[in-house]
Amino acid sequence: MRYYDDHGGDGAGRPFPDERPMTDADRGRAGEVRRDPLTGDWVAVAAHRMGRTFLPPADQCPLCPTGSAGSSGAPSEIPARAYDVAVLDNRFPSYSAGALGPAPGALVDGEPLWPTGPAAGRTEVVCFSDDHDTSFGDLGVERLRTVVRALAHRTEELSALPDVAQVFCFENRGEEIGVTLRHPHGQVYAYPQVPPRTRALLREARAHRERTDGNLLADVLAAERRAGTRVVLTGEHWTAYVPAAARWPVEVHLAPHRDVPDLSALEDDEREELAHVQLDLVRRLDGFFDEVEHLPYISGWHQAPTGAGRDLGRLHLQAFTLLRSPGRLKYLAGSESGMAAWVNDRSPEAIAERLRQVGAGSSPAAGR
């Protein structure tokens, strides 16, 4: 467990012993990964997560400070009386160190079609605030600096582990997304294999480099900035844009102007501007629908893999929602779920125009 402080905190956070009582069932709970021979994807089998905490009342929130006002007084997952940002191991991990799954190279039912192995890696929870009732867009720039510092440190430390292929930092917000804890928090997944989306990106990036000798993600950013029609905001170091082939009813990407593999590689001035720009962007998302105070979304940092293909990866944030209009979700029905053939109900240009409209004049970067 680590605490990251807004003032005077070390870049690596303050380490603190994890004093949560652990049973034999808690240790190494992540199970196994199995390879799908039809797609090449690795699927984590984590049956223990069926019993994870689900939308507890506020006075029983496991991420609130122990003994905080409004709590039941029972010990929470975090022993501090107050904190700024806290990072702890997920009690119900999809991947973990010392996972008790089958040995590497094992086979399901002895069949060579179905390789399996332990779900090694890490699954961490990042608490953005000790205030149960706040939201990411309400945190303020000072706290965003601390969140960026914490995610950069977790990326650096986890990327150095031998069983980690890629680190993904993300936030699920809103019950429509499937959130099981209302407390403002994100997660960090350190995968033992490169996930499917990154595998597809690396495939396209490799082909693009062979054709043009360029970096695909950098060239996409440059093309979006030249066109300008889908640019939401731009600063000295960052640009936010709606991708030309956006899949979701509301989707926006945020990318650094410099080629950067991950959060830990950002320089001080890039981190400083990021705290302002990301906060501005989340507030624009919250204003997208007049009738929705806090847009339910998934917001995730795509970072370069730690091994093969690292030179093809490039840091960028993707934020999107399943809400196509107030009270109506975009269900991934037959075409999307069955064939991964996407249909978007709103044009990318219209998404960008709305995000520009709701944020006009809200920051020095607005409209530039």
Looking at the annotation, which residues are catalytic? Answer: 185
The pair of structure tokens assigned to 231 is: 């640019």
Which tokens in the block code for residue 92? 């119900």
Question: What are the b/e assignments for 103-136, b being 16+ CB within 10 Å?
Answer: eeeeeeeeeeeebbbbbbbbbbbbbbbbebeebb
Give the tokens for residue 84: 């700024």
367: its two tokens:
């409209």
SS3 25: coil
CA atoms within 13 Å, Cβ hemisphere of 104: 5
- Strand (E) positions, the chain? 2-4, 14-15, 32-35, 42-45, 85-89, 106-107, 115-118, 122-127, 166-173, 185-191, 231-234, 238-241, 250-256, 297-302, 316-321, 323-325, 328-329
What's the rounded Cα separation, in Å, for the pair 120 and 59?
Answer: 33
Task: Please answer whether residues 351 and 246 qualify as being in contact, where contact means their C-beta atoms are separated by less than 8 angstroms.
Answer: yes
The three state secondary structure string of 218-267 is HHHHHHHHHHCCCEEEECCCEEEECCCCCCCCEEEEEEECCCCCCHHHCC
Other beta carbons within 10 Å of 23:
7
Beta bridge partners of 65: 78
Q: List own/partner pairs for 73-82 with CB under 8 A and 24 or more apart.
A: 77/20, 77/125, 78/1, 78/127, 78/130, 79/16, 79/19, 80/3, 80/16, 80/130, 82/130
Contact 244, 352 (CB under 8 A): no
